[in-house]
Homo-oligomer: A and B are copies of this chain.
Amino acid sequence: MQFYAEPLSRLIDELRRLPGVGAKTGQRLAFHLLAMAPADVQRLADTMVEARRRITDCSICGNLTEADPCVTCSDPSRDRSCICVVERPEDVIAMERTREYRGVYHVLGAAISPMEGVGPGDIRLAELVNRVKAGGVTEIIVATNPNTEGEVTAVYIANLLRPLGVRVSRIAHGVPVGGDLEYADEVTLARALEGRRVM
């Protein structure tokens, strides 16, 4: 017995390809879309296609952008001597939200992960080396994720760039602000101790 009409079942299948969307959420989203005004569905669909068409990778930093180079890379007030290296465009947003960072970025696209078959040649490392070699860069802040893949990538980058005479730093690991010490895992706590600063 087929529960869904064919276009609906195809819609649910398509929606389930999105991250975090399983059978239940796919069905909920599909029924919601079918209850929306046709014009609103059309606008959502157009927005998706248009965003995908208009947004590309910045040829300098690799971040998602409409204009190339991106807003950050072409902003004269940003400090080009400092490059923050992140895994994904989402991480640039997270860094920008701090409103503390005034340098530029380099988006790798992923972290090195032998488990997932991602080697150093598969991420934007050659582009990073070229930017450093082009001169004017004094510090590289490695802000890859604080997990195994991110750490491996950070060490790899440090070894790669140190010979070029640039300072390579890693963002601090420690207890999250607002967090509860009791619930911090031992590795994080050990790193927090190790990275303690004089008050």
Q: Shortest distance in angstroms between A69's beta carbon and chain B's nearest beta carbon?
A: 12
Chain A 17-42 per-residue mask, 1 if CB under 8 angstroms from chain B, else 0: 11110000101111111101010111
Cβ-closest chain B residue relative to A15: B44
Kindly state whether residue A89 has any CB partner on chain B within 8 Å: yes
Main secondary structure of the interface of A (DSSP, over half): helix
Q: How many residues of A contact B (CB 8 A)?
A: 55
Which among B7, B54, B55, B71 is the interface contact of A54 at CB below 8 angstroms? B7
A1 with B31: CB separation less than 8 A:
no
Q: Is the CB of A100 closer than 8 A to any CB of chain B?
A: no
Query: Which A44-94 residues have C-beta < 8 A from chain B?
Result: 44-55, 64-66, 70-71, 88-90, 93
A residues with a Cβ closer than 8 A to B are: 1-8, 10-11, 14-15, 17-20, 25, 27-34, 36, 38, 40-55, 64-66, 70-71, 88-90, 93, 96-97, 99
